[in-house]
Amino acid sequence: MRLVLCSSLSLPAFPHTHPLPHSGRLPHRDWEDRGGRSWGLRDQKPHSAPYLKEALARGSCAGSCFPPAATSFSMMLGTLGLWALLPTAVQAPPSTRTCVFFEAPGVRGSTKTLGKLLDAGPGPPRVIRCLYSRCCFGIWNLTQDRAQVEMQGCRDSDEPGCESPDCDPSPRAHPSPSSTLFTCSCGTDFCNANYSHLPPPGSPGTLGSQGLQAVAGESIWMALVLLGLFLLLLLLLGSIILVLLQRKASRVRGGPEPEPEPDSGRDWSTELPELPELCFSQVIREGGHAVVWAGQLQGELVAIKAFPLRAVAQFQAERALYELPGLQHDHIVRFITASRGGPGPPSCGPLLVLELHPKGSLCHYLTQHTSDWGSSLRMALSLAQGLAFLHEERWQDGQYKPGIAHRDLSSQNVLIREDGSCAIGDLGLALVLPGLTQPPAWAPTQPRGPAAIMEAGTQRYMAPELLDKTLDLQDWGMALRRADVYSLALLLWEILSRCLDLRPDSRPPPFQLAYEAELGSTPTTCELWTLAVEERRRPYIPSTWHCFATDPGGLRELLEDCWDADPEARLTAECVQQRLAALAQPQEAHSFPEGCPPPCPEDCLSTPPHCHSPL
């Protein structure tokens, strides 16, 4: 016999319908057991007690699966009432049970054959006496705001749960997202007339929408967490690959890997001599990697640069540069010797012994002194000559001197000689540059990666391309030379700002470092970037500089050509030297190097009518 159910069912309201408070929609649930088997009963033989027991056992664990779309509400209802089949071939129990009997209209097939109807009234509910069990059942449909009876009657056998004296409904299935079917089994007369407790919609007992939404929410949350972890792992892997590729590209752009420095493998402590006659007087400067002392060596005043043990690498790099053949120049601080020792008990650090210039640094000198046009021009010209010599690559008398970028030109690292000229010192960050000539094997080499190339000294004097990290790494040798010229321009401005003859009243203002008027004494990198890179501002050039009788326009043009925002538009150090030499001897004809433009057209050499000679 087949249980035939309606595909659509409209249920009337019944006297034992119980309104419930609304608490949200109930989720859709499957009409399958946990093993994925359908609860639908098709083509099963009547009186099949073993099958009924198996089907009812399935019903006890359903409600956690999801139904096929084609399963109708009436199919579910009929399945929950499996025991409505014809009486099974089991013997009737010795005593009988009396239950309430009700079946909603529209369900074909009836459970009335499991008992004997005791009243034949036309309206529900009716009473039935069970023939094959002592167990009553009931099925209720809980919607959004009410619970209504769907089926009541006798079960086909006494199954677990029938020992309960009261009808305690439990959820079994969800025919639609907004309703839940509850069933109960009980073992006393008329126990299925009313339920003892039916959870409100959305409560944990109903497996309602809130419960399922929580489960679904947790599942979605876990999925998002796993997806996030996967994406994070993917991003980390991509970053590692990108860094490796960038390093590989940087090595290609920066040239071949450097060979080890010839001094790097030597034990400096046994190689360097101790100088008992070396005396330490007083500290004249403290830096990041060394302390500079004034002292004496064999009666000669010297500067002693003492390195701590942690800065041995910096000592070896600077010593290798000072010991280059052909580096001797009037406007480069003279190297005397290298030693080891120190002024205190832990006197074991490496030392560089250099020529001492008692007048101090350019910054100190300009703070204490003003100068006339001749003295200012001497300082400026000697500074340009020293830098041009450093930048030059040449062979002379069988000695090779590579081009060198200073990379830390500042008024603290330029010293004033006894004759008032300048000498460039502190080669701690200086870098040997690649050149047209293959340097000999003994020439010192430097790391050529981007980080080493972009390293620079005092921020105030850093070129815009170093501040914004746009230095041309394809031709980094020329790029570093141009960055030095930018720093040179700022030093020239500082020198000229203290020139008496460039002021109508011969009273220059107190000394200020480049950009100190705009940014103060301790500018940050961000402030310097905003001023020099984004706004392209430079130190202020007073209008009186244009009216100087000896040079009606060359000074401003010289500075602007040196600190141009476009590195390729800047003059070379050799050109700056030639321009300043032309200013020193304006009556003489000067030949400028190839590629070095003259200071200005010939018609600009006449004094503008609104300018006057200084008093």
Tell me the C-alpha distance between 411 and 407, whole Å. 13
Q: How far is C-alpha 19 from the chain's CA centre?
A: 58
**Token pair 């993917």 is at which residue?**
234
User: Running DSSP on this structure, what letter comes out for residue 88?
Assistant: P
**Token pair 């020293």 is at which residue?**
386
Q: How far is C-alpha 315 from the chain's CA centre?
A: 36
Tell me the C-alpha distance between 544 and 553, whole Å. 10
Cβ–Cβ under 8 Å, residues 479 and 280: no
Check if 468 is active-site: no
Q: Bridge-partner residues for 154, per DSSP?
A: 136
Outline where 282-361 has alpha helix (H).
312-322
Tell me the C-alpha distance between 229 and 231, whole Å. 5
Helix, strand, coil share (%) of the chain residues, nearest 5: 30, 20, 50
Single out the catalytic residue among 33, 158, 408, 551.
408
Tell me the C-alpha distance between 34 and 590, whole Å. 102
Single-letter code of the amino acid located at 264: S
Phi, psi of 396 (to 5 degrees): -145, 125
User: Rounded to the nearest 5 degrees, what angle is found at the Cα of 567, between the Cα atoms of 563 and 568?
Assistant: 125
User: Rounded to the nearest 5 degrees, what angle is found at the Cα of 357, between the Cα atoms of 355 and 363?
Assistant: 130
- Burial class, 273, CB count within 10 angstroms (exposed 0-12 / middle 13-18 / buried 19+): exposed
Tell me the C-alpha distance between 133 and 613, whole Å. 130
E strands, 419-529, in order: 422-424, 431-432
Tell me the C-alpha distance between 497 and 492, whole Å. 8
Q: Which of 323, 340, 360, 334 is nearest to 278 (CA)?
A: 340
Q: Which of 141, 144, 193 is nearest to 171 (CA)?
A: 141
Radius of gyration of the CA atoms of the chain, in A: 50
**Token pair 């600077």 is at which residue?**
318
Tell me the C-alpha distance between 465 and 481, whole Å. 12
Single-letter code of the amino acid located at 593: P
315 backbone φψ class: left, alpha, beta (φ>0; ψ -120 to 50): alpha
Tell me the C-alpha distance between 456 and 528, whole Å. 14
Cα diameter, the chain = 142
Phi, psi of 169 (to 5 degrees): -65, 150
Q: Which two tokens stand for residue 341?
A: 């020792």
DSSP-assigned states of every residue in 96-119: --EEEEEE-TTB-S-SGGGEEES-
- Return the SS3 of 176: strand
- Return the SS3 of 576: helix
Tell me the C-alpha distance between 21 and 214, whole Å. 21
Residue positions annotated with a catalytic role: 408
